Amino acid sequence: ALTATPLHAGVDFANRPFDATHRALTNFSDWSLTDDSNSDGTTDWIMSTTSSTSSSSVASGLWTASNRALTLNGTIPAGSTVLSRVVCRDTSSTAGGVQIRVSVPTTGVSTHLSGLLTLELQSDGTQTLTVSEETGVGVFARLAVSPQLSSGLQDIHCVMNPSSRTLHVWVNGVWMGAHRISLVSSPSVTATVQIQAGAGNCEFDRCEVSTQSSSGTSVENTL
């Protein structure tokens, strides 16, 4: 009836956008390795060498590196859901390839979730993405393998959710699956995202990290 008291209803959509705290964004065209894209007073990434034969250069909007690592500057708060996006490819079939590590401490306990995504060029010119979980310091157990990816740049998304202890992975917008992650007391990297180039040259076009409090909110299926 026109004179009745209006009724209001709220619906929680499962596919709502990822309402997150921006931590880092580098695309090597508009932003450089030393930029502070979120204006928090510090550079987004800390770059380190992993071998004496390391190299690094930025040209034509790409970071080409060998034996170098970018580590998120600052720690990820315990219990945070972490969204990482890396556009990259391995251009040399020597050991290492591209490595993306995500480590998140859980809330209230001294344990972590730690995952590793490795993208490696194969002898036939394709690339293989391997998803692993860390079970001990520097010890990884394989969870899934996606072979026969093209030799071009791959757009890799991953969401680490401490609430459900899951790691979700997308490649070029295609969902590759959800993986249950075991707790590990002492991961090789702690409360951070690390992007590393192995012994051969690797190219990176975009590196982005956002975090969100996991207080009762699921971000699964939002990409």
pLDDT in tens, 129-184: 999 999 999 899 999 999 999 999 999 999 999 999 999 999 999 999 999 999 99
Q: Which two tokens stand for residue 117?
A: 């995504």
Q: Which of 85, 78, 73 is nearest to 103 (CA)?
A: 78
Reported pTM: 0.86
pLDDT in tens, 109-121: 779 999 999 999 9
- Pick 51 or 12 by higher pLDDT: 51
pLDDT in tens, 39-64: 888 889 999 999 999 999 999 999 99
> What percent of the chain is modeled with pLDDT above 90?
69
Rounded to 5°, angle at Cα 90 from 87 and 96: 115
- Asked if the model's pLDDT at residue 221 lies above 90, the reply is no
